[in-house]
């Protein structure tokens, strides 16, 4: 007898990172050609030594073993509000913030509070795959904003307008973008929010990589304008990348108090509260690790510069379409060949693990995503040499 499962979940593809890791599972790689793992956006360095030392002591405190408030500890919500005030040059109230078990959870609960089966959410292509997976599992229709490889950092208002229907509930934006690394200009973000809000549609903006931006100053003025206190804007944050805390699972939402009432209901059912020990890590990071965080951001900038220089190699037929934060989005030189086939060939022959563009939406077969955060600058030359070699070893 075959037992039935939820067909909405069954129709969703295998998690892309897990699928890519299966390509190399059980394999060993020679010392002269070790695996270059550019599949997942994971920093190559451990958290700050002082943070790990702090947590060793915090683990002995009885308070870290019990529940916090559903929306997170008041201490962390207040500390994050002060952090956002500085970064966005705004006045931020802790009452507009919820702490979550990672930014993915922040996104899922925000979407579930805003939309239901049959509703629509606009998603620019290429997209962060977990965002669309969640929409599909909820019976929410993703409506795709097509990719313009000539202008990956633009948000075309008129094309967005054309996608809006009576069922549109939100638009999702990741800036800097996963997977392209593109950083959207403040004026473009503000214009999109203005257009959507006039129509009663929410902008959900995932700012996981805000600490790795190339530009100086606030990412936009929406928080300074108080939009985060009103319906129509949801901002998502993460501690994972800025403080190398990916496994601690701490994220956050800033939005209207009215929406937080709905978010709280969902969070209580999913996890009751974020892990208390992880919240202690985030509090410590905000209080003590500004300099450490900024140093790692400069390190990522150095890696990005090395990557851009490497892709200027005269013999390289792979073309860098966009780069920034942790990511490079690349056009491969094998037109007509499925991106999965290109990516698997790179894993098998060149020991480069990366993700095919097809994991990030329709019409992306010509592209690959390289997450360079896990590769030191001095290994970029080796990466380029292997890519050059792959051009002749088809």
Print pLDDT tens along the chain (394 aa). Answer: 677 899 999 999 899 999 999 999 999 999 889 999 999 988 889 999 999 999 999 989 888 888 899 999 999 999 999 999 999 999 999 999 999 999 999 999 999 999 999 999 999 999 999 999 999 999 999 999 999 999 999 999 999 999 999 999 999 999 999 999 999 999 999 999 999 999 999 999 999 999 999 998 999 999 999 888 899 999 999 999 999 999 999 999 999 999 999 999 999 999 999 999 999 999 999 999 999 999 999 999 999 999 999 999 878 999 999 999 999 999 999 999 999 999 999 999 999 999 999 999 999 999 999 999 888 888 899 999 999 999 875 5
Residue 394: predicted pLDDT = 57
Q: Could you list the residue range(s) of the whole structural domain that residue 355 is in? A: 7-46+292-392
Question: What distance in Å separates the CA atoms of residue 304 and residue 30, rounded to the nearest whole number?
Answer: 27
244 part of a folded domain: yes
- Shared domain for 84 and 137, answered yes or no, is yes
Residue 56 lies inside a defined structural domain of this protein: no
Phi-psi region of 255 (alpha: psi -120 to 50; beta: other; left: phi over 0): beta
Within a domain: 112:
yes
pTM of the predicted protein model: 0.94
Cα separation values, 225 from 91, 152, 190, Å: 9, 27, 10
pLDDT of residue 64: 87
pLDDT the model gives residue 393:
57
Same-domain status, 239 and 138: yes
Domain end position, chosen among 254, 289, 324: 289
| Best CA proximity match to 66, nearest among 368, 216, 284, 274 | 274
Q: Tell me, what's the pLDDT at 313?
A: 81
82 shares a domain with 228:
yes
Question: Would the CA dihedral through 317, 322, 328, 330 be positive or negative?
Answer: negative
Residue 275, domain member (yes or no) = yes
- In this structure, are 354 and 311 located in the same domain? yes
Question: Do 259 and 348 reside in the same domain of the chain?
Answer: no
Tally of domains in the chain:
2
Question: Where does 223-379 have alpha helices with state H?
Answer: 257-270, 276-288, 290-310, 339-345
Do 67 and 205 share a domain, yes or no? yes
3 state SS for 43-80: CCCCCCHHHHHHHHHHCCCHHHHCCCCCCCCHHHHHHH
In a domain, 211, yes or no: yes
* Contact between residue 351 and residue 385 where contact means Cβ atoms under 8 Å apart: no
Mean pLDDT rounded to a whole number for the chain: 94
pLDDT of residue 314: 77
Question: What residues form DSSP beta bridges with 367?
Answer: 331
Q: How far apart are CA 389 and CA 384, in angstroms?
A: 9
Q: List 122's β-bridge partners, or say none.
A: 143, 171
> Do 312 and 388 sit in the same domain of this protein?
yes
| Whether residue 149 is found in the same domain as residue 124 | yes
Q: Is residue 53 part of a domain?
A: no
- Cα gap 148→362, rounded to integer Å: 12
Of the three residues 257, 289, 321, the one that is the final residue of a domain is 289
- Residue 340 CB partners (closer than 8 Å, separation 6+): 356, 358
| CA-based nearest residue to 177, from 217, 210, 218, 204 | 210
233 with 310, same domain: the answer is: no
- Looking at residue 382, what is its pLDDT? 92
* 152 three-class SS: coil
Q: Looking at residue 129, which CATH number applies to its domain? A: 3.40.640.10
Final residue before a domain boundary, out of 229, 256, 289: 289
In a domain, 55, yes or no: no
User: In the prediction, which pLDDT does 1 show?
Assistant: 67
Q: Measured between alpha carbons, how far is residue 46 from residues 119, 165, 240, 250, 257 in Å?
A: 41, 46, 11, 16, 35
Same domain membership, residue 159 and residue 173: yes
Residues 262 and 303 grouped into a single domain: no
Confidence (pLDDT) at 118? 97
Which residue reads 């590769």 in tokens? 375
Distance CA 94, CA 74 (A): 8
Do 119 and 36 have their domain in common?
Answer: no
Amino acid 4: pLDDT: 82
């Amino acid at each position: 007898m075959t037992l039935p499962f939820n067909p909405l979940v069954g129709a969703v593809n295998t998690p892309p990172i897990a699928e890519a890791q299966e390509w190399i599972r059980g394999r060993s790689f020679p010392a002269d050609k070790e695996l270059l793992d550019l599949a997942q956006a994971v920093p190559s360095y451990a958290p700050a030594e002082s943070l790990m030392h702090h947590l060793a002591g915090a683990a002995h405190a009885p308070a870290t073993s019990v529940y916090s408030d559903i929306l997170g500890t008041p201490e962390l919500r207040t500390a994050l509000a002060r952090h956002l005030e500085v970064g966005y040059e705004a006045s931020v109230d802790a009452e507009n913030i919820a702490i979550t078990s990672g930014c993915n959870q922040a996104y899922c609960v925000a979407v579930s509070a805003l939309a239901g089966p049959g509703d629509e959410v606009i998603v620019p292509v290429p997209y962060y795959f977990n965002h669309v997976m969640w929409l599909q599992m909820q019976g929410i229709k993703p409506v795709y904003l097509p990719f313009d490889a000539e202008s990956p950092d633009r948000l075309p208002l008129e094309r967005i307008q054309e996608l809006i229907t009576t069922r549109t509930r939100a638009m999702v934006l990741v800036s800097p973008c996963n997977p392209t690394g593109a950083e959207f200009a403040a004026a473009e973000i503000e214009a999109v929010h203005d257009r959507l809000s006039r129509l009663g549609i929410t902008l959900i903006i995932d700012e996981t990589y805000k600490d790795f931006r190339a530009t100086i100053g606030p990412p936009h003025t929406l928080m300074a304008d108080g939009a985060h206190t009103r319906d129509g804007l949801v901002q998502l944050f993460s501690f994972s990348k800025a403080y190398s805390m990916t496994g601690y699972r701490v994220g956050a939402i800033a939005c209207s108090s009215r929406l937080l009432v709905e978010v709280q209901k969902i969070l209580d059912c999913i996890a009751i509260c974020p892990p208390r020990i992880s919240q202690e890590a985030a509090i410590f990071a905000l209080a003590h690790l500004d300099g450490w965080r900024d140093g790692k951001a400069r390190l990522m900038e150095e890696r990005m510069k090395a990557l851009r220089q490497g892709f200027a190699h005269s013999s390289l037929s792979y073309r860098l379409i966009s780069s920034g934060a942790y990511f490079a989005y690349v056009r491969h030189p094998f037109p007509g060949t499925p991106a999965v086939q290109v990516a698997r060939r790179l894993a098998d022959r060149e020991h480069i693990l990366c993700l095919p563009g097809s994991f990030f939406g329709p019409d992306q077969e010509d592209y690959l995503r390289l997450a360079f955060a896990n590769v030191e600058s001095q290994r970029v030359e080796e990466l380029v040499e292997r890519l050059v070699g792959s051009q002749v070893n088809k």
